[in-house]
Amino acid sequence: MMAMPLVASFPHQIEADLQSVYGRRIAEWHRGDMSSRELLALLENLPERSSYKGAVRGAGFGVDYEWSAEEYREAAIARQQAPLDSENGDMQVSQMLYESYFSPVERAVIEMKQAIDAHRAEKARRYIFKGLLGEE
């Protein structure tokens, strides 16, 4: 693995994580005071919740950050505890609380499905009106 494509793809995340986790600066690598091998080792050993690792996980899904396995576990527990009982509380608030524990990728998928559904509904509505008005 080469360092240059990673730095080019995730410059802000790498800069922030090197500084906050290791107290190092990306300028050290640019000046040659840090080897590419050392940079790659530091990146590989960043915590799973680091900006860089989250960005790498999210890149394939078109989101800026994707959760780590630990964050997914925490969200699963929180979802199980989110009240969804419509008899004992406000279902709308409970649903909003439940959905607040969706990961960035889950949210992106939901938004994509909603956009597709809205497009299909609009297309069907136009087709029906076209038929009602007798247009071919």
- Residue 135: pLDDT band with limits 50, 70, 90: low
pLDDT tens digit sequence for 45-75: 999 999 999 999 998 888 889 999 999 998 8
**pTM for the predicted model, two decimal places:** 0.68
Domain boundaries, the chain: 3-59, 71-101, 103-136
Q: Is the pLDDT of residue 93 over 70?
A: no
Closest to 6 (Cα-Cα) out of 61, 52, 67: 52
Helix (H) or strand (E) holding 42: helix 36-44
Closest to 19 (Cα-Cα) out of 40, 50, 61: 50
Tell me the C-alpha distance between 2 and 66, whole Å.
23
Report the pLDDT value the prediction gives residue 54, as an integer from 0 to 100: 94
Q: Is the pLDDT of residue 85 over 60?
A: no
- Residue 36: pLDDT band with limits 50, 70, 90: very high
- Residue 86: pLDDT band with limits 50, 70, 90: low
